[in-house]
């Protein structure tokens, strides 16, 4: 019986040893699990710390975003007010645009009417230009010849006096006026002028002065006393512009003579343009 009990005890001891070894193996496994758990726990702690840091950063960012949101709301309200103002201005501008369109339509209608008038004026201008060309062509034919008077002596006077050659024989182009004694150039060109003055110097000095646009060109004077007629003759070639004037003047204290025999004459003609 003791042998059987010893055998049983040995068997039981082996079982206990097996169980002990199994327990130790489990304990080792638990230790490994615990070690891994501790490592994982440290990692979780670090992750938690990082998450807390990120959370604080996120909270700060949220606060900043809240401030920005407030500012954006204020800007949005300001922009909304500006938008309303712009809308009002836009409405007014649209009204002005409509008004401008109507005005433009009126202006276009006026332009069309003016174009018609312009066409008419252009036609009239063409006709006028033809007429002007015709007049210029006619005025290019210019020549005059006139005697002073048939009444005898002229002068002397206390002041210079324009000589009016009133006895006109030729006046092609009507550039010479016997009423005023002035010649007016109808076209630009080169002209030839000649005058002859008669006088009796036993009665005093005789003379004549030619003026171009108020400027003296020739001044002829004869003071020799003689009971017979004396003559002064001279000629000029002048380049004149349209509207230039020429006339002869009797100087003060001088006299000239003319009668039906045409002793004193004034003439001129256009040489070329």
Residue after which a domain boundary falls, among 116, 139, 162: 139
* pLDDT tens digits along 49-87: 888 888 888 888 888 888 887 888 888 788 888 888 887
Q: Work out the angle at residue 148's Cα, subtended by the Cα atoms of residues 226 and 206, and round it to the nearest 5 degrees.
A: 30
- Strands 152-154 and 256-258, by their bridges, are antiparallel
- Strands 245-250 and 206-212, by their bridges, are antiparallel
138: pLDDT strictly greater than 60: no
* pLDDT tens digits along 205-236: 889 999 999 999 999 988 766 667 888 899 99
Q: Are 152 and 251 found together in one domain?
A: yes
pLDDT band for position 174 (cuts 50, 70, 90):
very high
Q: Are 91 and 162 found together in one domain?
A: no
The span from the CA of 90 to the CA of 201, in Å, is 96
Question: Which of 268, 218, 203 lies closest to 248 in space, CA to CA?
Answer: 218
137: pLDDT strictly greater than 70: no
Containing structural domain, residue 188: 142-272
Give 213's DSSP letter. T
The span from the CA of 1 to the CA of 166, in Å, is 195
Instruction: Please tell me whether residue 265 adopts helix, strand or coil conformation.
Output: strand
> Number of folded domains in the chain?
2
Q: Are 11 and 135 found together in one domain?
A: yes
């Amino acid at each position: 019986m003791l042998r059987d009990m010893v055998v049983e005890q040995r068997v039981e001891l082996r079982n206990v040893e097996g169980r002990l070894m199994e327990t130790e193996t489990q304990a080792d496994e638990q230790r490994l699990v615990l070690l891994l758990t501790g490592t994982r726990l440290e990692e979780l702690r670090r992750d938690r710390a990082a998450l807390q840091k990120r959370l604080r950063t996120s909270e700060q960012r949220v606060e900043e975003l809240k401030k920005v949101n407030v500012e954006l709301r204020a800007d949005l309200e300001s922009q909304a007010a500006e938008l309303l103002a712009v809308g009002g201005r836009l409405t007014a501008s649209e009204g002005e645009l409509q008004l401008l369109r109507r005005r433009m339509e009126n202006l276009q209608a006026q332009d069309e009417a003016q174009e018609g008038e312009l066409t008419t004026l252009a036609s009239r201008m063409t006709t006028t230009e033809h007429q002007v060309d015709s007049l210029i062509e006619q005025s290019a034919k210019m020549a005059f010849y006139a005697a002073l008077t048939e009444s005898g002596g002229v002068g002397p006077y206390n002041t210079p006096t324009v000589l009016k050659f009133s006895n006109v024989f030729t006046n092609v182009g009507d550039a010479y006026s016997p009423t005023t004694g002035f010649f007016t150039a109808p076209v630009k060109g080169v002209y030839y002028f000649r005058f002859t003055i008669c006088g009796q110097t036993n009665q005093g000095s005789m003379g004549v002065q030619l003026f171009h646009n108020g400027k003296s060109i020739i001044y002829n004077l004869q003071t020799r006393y003689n009971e017979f007629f004396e003559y002064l003759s001279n000629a000029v070639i002048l380049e004149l512009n349209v509207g230039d004037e020429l006339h002869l003047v009797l100087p003060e204290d001088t006299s000239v003579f003319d009668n039906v025999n045409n002793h004193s004459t004034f003439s001129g003609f256009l040489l070329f343009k």
